[in-house]
Amino acid sequence: MVGTDPQCDIPLVGVEGVTARHCELRPSPYGLELHKLDPAAFLRVNGAPVTGTLVNDGDVLSIGSLSLTLSLPQEAAASQRTASQLEEMEGFSEAEKKKRRAQMLMEDNWKRTQERYEEFRRKQSFPLAIVGAVVGLCVSAIGSSLTSTTSWRAYFLLIIAVGFVVGWIIRLTGRGVERRFGVLACWR
């Protein structure tokens, strides 16, 4: 991980335009992947803005105001590609090879997304979400009692605000990603 946070693997403290957790380099079966972690971060590879891409030896990474040239040891660069993958792509044009690498990368990203979803599912707690809903209902009751003397416009805006807060409380307390959490947030 690269960023200004001292906990990062590559801390870039004091570099202008670098965020706390700016980007991350990850090994993959298809090479070294660069992923932007902060949506507001400035990240370019060879002058082109990226959010995630495969990087190669000699690529110029622009992280904030800093430009770095990626230099991989020869054995690391060679180990990025397996013999079977290279054999699979023998006889294809460069465009077709690039297309196939992108497809394999998308499949890997899909697997990682599924793994993260399963991780979120393990962390979710419906009983805590119900407690959050009860707290949200109490907040709603207090809000409703306070608005009895206000205009209908203020009351309307307060209802929207209370709905947002209650939904946020349910999401925060339950950490839910399944449909039942959304139904609970709408039901309250």
| Residues 87-133: tens digit of each pLDDT | 566 777 777 877 877 787 788 788 888 888 888 888 888 888 888 88
pLDDT above 90 as % of the chain: 6
| Residues 119-130: tens digit of each pLDDT | 888 888 888 888
Q: What is the pLDDT of residue 9?
A: 86
Q: What is the pLDDT of residue 130?
A: 83
Q: Is-contact 147 158, C-beta < 8 A?
A: yes
| Residues 23-77: tens digit of each pLDDT | 998 887 667 888 899 888 889 999 999 988 888 878 899 998 888 888 876 555 4
Q: Model-level pTM greater than 0.85? A: no
Same domain (yes/no): 177, 107: no
Neighbouring residues of 169: CB distance < 8 A, sequence distance ≥ 6? 132, 133, 135, 136, 139
Same domain (yes/no): 106, 96: yes
End position of a domain, from candidates 123, 150, 177: 123
How many separate domains does the chain show?
Answer: 3
At 19, which CATH number?
A: 2.60.200.20
Domain assignment of residue 116, given as a range: 82-123
Same domain (yes/no): 14, 69: yes
Same domain (yes/no): 103, 172: no
Q: Where are the alpha helices (DSSP H) in 43-125?
A: 74-79, 83-88, 94-123
Same domain (yes/no): 119, 129: no
